[in-house]
Amino acid sequence: MNLFEKFQQGLPYADFIARYANDGQKQRWRDVHAQVRLTPEQRTLLGAFTRPMNVLVLAGAWCGDCINQCPIFEHFAAARPQNAAPVIHTRYLDRDEHADVQKELQINAGDRVPVVVFHSEDGKEVARYGERTLSKYRHMMRDQAGPSCPTGLSAPGDSLLTQVTQDWLNEFERVQWLLRLSPRLRRLHGD
């Protein structure tokens, strides 16, 4: 399956929410979007991105994991210096309407969302990531498995949203440097 063709069929964030979310869900998406905060260091990093990244997000407007993570991507896309061209382009597909994509992007033999597929500017698949980040899984393990199951390092004092934002930024950064160091794209751009 050519997932870049699916990216081209995807909807921008606001259109996705308008089309698929009910009023209560729309409010939850707005609430999380308002809570996301990028640090000055995170904004500087995102401002250093130069290679276009086409980001396909398979999501469900009803999905709590999507509501709690997808607004982060929009903050990343908007974190550009004034008058700079955007380099992060996100498009959203509804999991239920695009069952073929959901089947292609199953995780652990299950239908999971959000799942993100990163593409280069010319439509080549670069990476896949989803559906929850390591910080979210650590949090779930603490809540569900109790103290008998160590979860590794965690950042005391940081909210879960802050930790998940950083987890996602780490992946966006990894993909950006992969694109910047790609011999194929370096030839294309002469750098």
Lowest mean pLDDT among 42-46, 81-85, 145-149: 145-149
pLDDT, tens digit, 9 for 90 and up, residues 153-178: 555 567 999 999 999 999 999 999 99
What's the CATH code, domain 3-132+170-189?
3.40.30.10
The type of residue at 135 is S
How does DSSP assign 78-137, residue by residue? H---TTPPP-EEEEEEETTTTHHHHHHT-BTTB--S-EEEEE-TTS-EEEEEESS-HHHH
CB 55, CB 70: distance < 8 Å:
no
Burial group, residue 159, by CB count within 10 angstroms (0-12, 13-18, 19+)? exposed
User: Mean pLDDT for the chain?
Assistant: 93
Cα gap 95→105, rounded to integer Å: 10
Phi then psi dihedrals of residue 89, to 5 deg: -120, 115
pLDDT of residue 156: 57
CB 80, CB 89: distance < 8 Å:
no
pLDDT of residue 85: 86
pTM of the complete model: 0.92
State the sign of the Cα–Cα–Cα–Cα dihedral 150, 153, 159, 165.
negative
| Domain-wise residue ranges, the chain | 3-132+170-189
pLDDT bucket at 149, cuts 50 / 70 / 90: low
What is the rounded average pLDDT of the residues 77-100? 93
